């Protein structure tokens, strides 16, 4: 029987490649928490990859699915919710995240993000622009919103997943 450690869910946000999926996998194992990877959940329900959803229905449709899912997840307990990188860009989503639990922002430098996503072909917002300059620009545009949403901020450059998780737990 898993011991319930937290009385709230943990909501991970941040740019692509900031480490949300890696950290959520690790935390869920460490603390026997449930995990919802929002991109995965949306993709499973739509029976389509994220790039296909963007290409077929457009970004707005995907953003709408994110909002609905964030609302639905408020009934979950003992759960780590790993958001897609753009989920904090909608004002209404930030409010829904706060109702979901403690919002943790993971950050990484454009260079680190580039190293982590450069071989990825499932990031439609990069539109093939997997280069440091484009990443830096998009990150800067989004920074204010990420920071507004966050209860806790953790920088992940040059840290192991264990170090990031320890820091996260200590700040909760
Ligand atoms: C997006 C990030 C992706 C995914 C979608 C849009 C974004 O999630 O939700 O491609 O707008 O930053 P990851 O952060 O898991 O790559």
Could you tell me the pTM of the whole model?
Answer: 0.95
Q: Is 116 annotated as a binding residue?
A: no
Q: Is the pLDDT of residue 3 over 60?
A: no
User: Has residue 1 been placed in a domain?
Assistant: no
Q: How do residues 84-131 score in pLDDT, each as one tens digit?
A: 999 999 999 999 999 999 999 999 999 999 999 998 888 999 988 889
Residue 13's DSSP bridge partners are 105
> Which of helix, strand or coil describes residue 48?
coil
Atom of ligand 1 nearest to the CA of 37: 15
User: Has residue 106 been placed in a domain?
Assistant: yes
Q: How do residues 25-56 score in pLDDT, each as one tens digit?
A: 999 999 999 999 999 999 999 999 999 999 99
- Our count of domains for the chain comes to 1
Q: Is the pLDDT of residue 1 over 70?
A: no
- 41: domain CATH number is 3.40.50.300
The ipTM (two decimal places) reads 0.96
User: Has residue 55 been placed in a domain?
Assistant: yes
Contact 153, 171 (CB under 8 A): no
Q: Which residues of 148-164 are buried (b: 16+ CB within 10 A; e: fewer)?
A: ebbeeebebeeeeeeeb
Q: Is 18 annotated as a binding residue?
A: yes
Which of 43, 69, 85, 149 has most ligand 1 atoms within 8 Å of its beta carbon, as the pocket-test mutant?
85
Per-residue model confidence (pLDDT) at position 4: 61
User: Has residue 94 been placed in a domain?
Assistant: yes
Expressed in angstroms and rounded, the spacing between residue 63 Cα and the centre of ligand 1 is 10
Residue 77 to residue 115: CA distance in whole angstroms: 34
Contact 35, 7 (CB under 8 A): no
User: Has residue 164 been placed in a domain?
Assistant: yes
Q: Which domain holds residue 57?
A: 9-171
């Amino acid at each position: 029987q898993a011991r319930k450690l937290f009385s709230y869910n943990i909501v991970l946000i941040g740019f692509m490649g900031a480490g949300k999926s890696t950290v959520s996998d690790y935390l869920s194992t460490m603390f026997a928490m449930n995990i919802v990877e929002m991109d995965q959940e949306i993709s499973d329900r739509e029976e389509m990859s994220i790039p296909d959803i963007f290409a077929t229905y457009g970004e707005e449709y995907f953003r709408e699915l994110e909002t609905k899912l964030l609302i639905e997840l408020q009934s979950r307990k003992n759960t780590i919710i790993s958001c897609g990188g753009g989920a904090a860009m909608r004002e209404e989503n930030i409010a829904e995240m706060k109702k979901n639990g403690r919002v943790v922002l993971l950050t990484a430098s454009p260079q680190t993000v580039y190293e982590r996503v450069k071989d990825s072909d499932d990031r439609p917002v990069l539109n093939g622009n997997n280069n440091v300059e484009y990443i830096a620009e998009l990150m800067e545009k989004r920074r204010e919103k990420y920071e507004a949403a966050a209860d806790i901020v953790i920088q992940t450059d040059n840290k192991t997943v264990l170090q990031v998780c320890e820091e996260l737990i200590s700040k909760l």
